[in-house]
């Protein structure tokens, strides 16, 4: 039983994900960071990162044990995205074609250096583009290279700074362009075969379909049909054929119909905005919730985590996810960042990684201990430093471990933090 999940299905999922951030009962989504120690498999720290795994342990438990902090993603931090295709002279771009089953993977739109995005309606039958599209009018424009481009929208300066990457750009509908869109219009008629024996004076083209008012005339050269001039784009077509009449034989052409509601009515749908772009900015310690004394390699998205010790979904802006142990008396030595510390609780050895050691206040910050939490009066030993100290107080993390859902995991090279540093983290997720 053949079946197909259409591009609309993917688009629906991506748009629903984006909309979840602005609904009345909106999703509480957080960027989490963690992984303060090098990858266990010895992966290169600069390019060949460890590959995330999709088993239960690696999506339900291990991320929580690695996580050191989380920052909430707001509705202004997310947008639908598309591939970035910079216009360059001498490049052959694909033309929009409502009958093309592979259009989603083709280069049928461009962005120029002024961040205007244009859809290609005609590529002069596979010729190279040499005239850069320009302007922000609502009508398609034919250029000297015989390309026809349709202005779609402009990426704003703020969106460019927030979302644009080397490979992706945000996509939004321009309301002025949308208001001028014509449903079922025919902006281009594609010649399929030129035929022979035609004369300009007695050759006609009639557009037959379920719409109205579209008219066109042939361009004849050397007895063959070489192109078609649209004199009226018409409207309301969902199917159309081009009937070519004259003394010649063999010429065929097909009218290219706009997407539903017209070119520019819904840029996200028309340009296949099935990517989701997320921007999260980490500024210093974020009110002492995000460590600045250590690095991290892993990040991702968690949905609807709970506040520690409650059944309440977290909605705060950021949380420390490390455990903090206080020592009244100084340990025998200073704990070292990233070393393993251990403690014996009820005959069971508990281990964790050191995220930070504040020797002034005698605070030890660690990742999630396993199998159970350290408690007051527990002796904590550093396996590298040899430090030994007795805990007198435990400050739990802001979020309850293992709650909510881990939706996305990404491994990167080591990111070193400092107190005056700002990290602009951009995630690209394909639906």
Task: Name, in order, each residue with C-beta under 8 angstroms of 210's C-beta and a sequence gap of 6 or more.
Answer: 236, 237, 238, 239, 240
In order of 140, 182, 218, the CA distances from 215 in angstroms are 17, 15, 11
Q: Give pLDDT, residue 142.
A: 96
* The CATH number of domain 1-79+272-314+400-431 is 2.40.10.10: no
Of 89, 34, 30, residue with least CA distance to 66: 34
pLDDT at 164 over 90: yes
| pLDDT score of 163 | 97
Residue 187, pLDDT > 70, answer yes
Average pLDDT of the segment spanning 207-228? 97
Percent of the chain's residues with pLDDT above 90: 87
User: How confident is the model over 231-254, as a mean pLDDT?
Assistant: 97
Global confidence as pTM: 0.90
Average pLDDT on 18-47 reads 81
- Looking at residue 5, the DSSP 8-state letter turns out to be -
Q: What is the mean pLDDT of residues 235-259?
A: 97
Q: Which of 210, 228, 230, 207 is nearest to 219 (CA)?
A: 228
pLDDT at position 371: 64
Structure tokens at 410: 């990404």
- The pLDDT value recorded for residue 26 is 74
Residue spans per domain, the chain: 1-79+272-314+400-431, 186-257, 322-396
pLDDT of 344-374, one tens digit each? 887 888 899 999 999 999 999 999 887 667 7
Joined together, the tokens standing for residue 1 give 């039983």
Q: Which residues contact 163 (CB under 8 A, 6 or more apart)?
A: 79, 81, 169, 170, 277, 279, 426
pLDDT tens for 273-315 read 999 999 999 999 999 999 999 999 999 999 999 999 999 999 9
- In the chain, the largest separation of any two C-alpha atoms, in whole Å, equals 103
Average pLDDT over residues 187-198: 96
DSSP state letter for 57: I
> Rounded CA gap, 12 and 266, in Å?
13
pLDDT level of residue 388 (50, 70, 90 thresholds): very high
- In CATH, the number for domain 322-396 is 2.40.30
pLDDT of 403: 96
If we measure between CA atoms, which residue out of 301, 371, 291 comes closest to residue 324? 291
Domains 1-79+272-314+400-431 and 322-396 share a fold: no
């Amino acid at each position: 039983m053949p079946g197909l999940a259409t591009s609309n299905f993917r688009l629906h999922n991506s748009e629903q994900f984006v909309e979840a951030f602005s609904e009345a009962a909106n999703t509480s989504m957080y960027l989490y960071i963690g992984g303060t120690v090098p990858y266990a498999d010895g992966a290169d720290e600069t390019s060949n990162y460890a590959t995330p795994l999709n088993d239960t342990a690696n999506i339900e438990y291990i991320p929580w044990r690695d996580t050191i902090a989380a920052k909430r993603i707001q509705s202004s931090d997310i947008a639908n995205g598309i591939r970035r295709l910079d216009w360059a002279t001498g490049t052959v771009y694909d033309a929009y074609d409502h009958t093309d089953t592979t259009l989603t993977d083709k280069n049928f739109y461009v962005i120029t250096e002024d961040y205007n995005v244009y859809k290609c309606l005609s590529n002069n039958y596979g010729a190279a583009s040499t005239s850069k599209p320009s302007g922000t009018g609502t009508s398609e424009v034919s250029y000297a290279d015989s390309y026809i481009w349709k202005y779609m929208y402009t990426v704003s300066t703020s969106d460019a700074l927030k979302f644009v990457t080397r490979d992706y750009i945000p996509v939004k509908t321009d309301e002025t362009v949308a208001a001028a869109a014509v449903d079922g219009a025919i902006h281009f008629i594609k010649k399929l075969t030129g035929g022979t024996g035609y004369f300009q004076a007695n050759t006609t083209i009639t557009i037959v379909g379920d719409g109205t008012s579209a008219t066109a005339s042939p361009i004849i050269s050397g007895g063959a049909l070489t192109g078609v001039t649209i004199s009226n784009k018409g409207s309301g077509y969902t199917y159309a054929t081009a009937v070519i009449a004259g003394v010649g034989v063999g010429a065929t052409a097909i009218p290219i119909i706009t997407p539903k509601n017209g070119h520019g009515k819904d840029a996200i749908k028309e340009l296949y905005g099935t990517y989701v772009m997320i921007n999260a900015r980490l500024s210093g310690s974020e009110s002492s919730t995000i460590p600045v004394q250590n690095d991290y390699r892993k990040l991702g998205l968690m949905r609807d985590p709970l506040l520690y010790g409650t059944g309440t979904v977290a909605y705060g802006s950021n949380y420390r996810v490390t455990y903090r142990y206080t020592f009244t008396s100084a340990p025998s030595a200073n704990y070292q960042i990233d070393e393993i510390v251990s403690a014996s609780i009820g005959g069971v050895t508990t281990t964790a990684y050191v995220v930070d050691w504040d020797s002034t206040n005698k605070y030890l910050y660690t990742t999630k201990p396993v199998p159970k939490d350290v408690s007051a009066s527990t002796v904590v030993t550093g396996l590298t430093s040899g430090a030994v100290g007795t805990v007198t107080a435990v400050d739990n993390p802001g979020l309850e471990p293992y709650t909510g859902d881990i939706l996305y995991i990404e491994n990167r090279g080591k990111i070193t933090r400092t107190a005056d540093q700002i990290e602009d983290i951009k995630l690209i997720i394909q639906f």
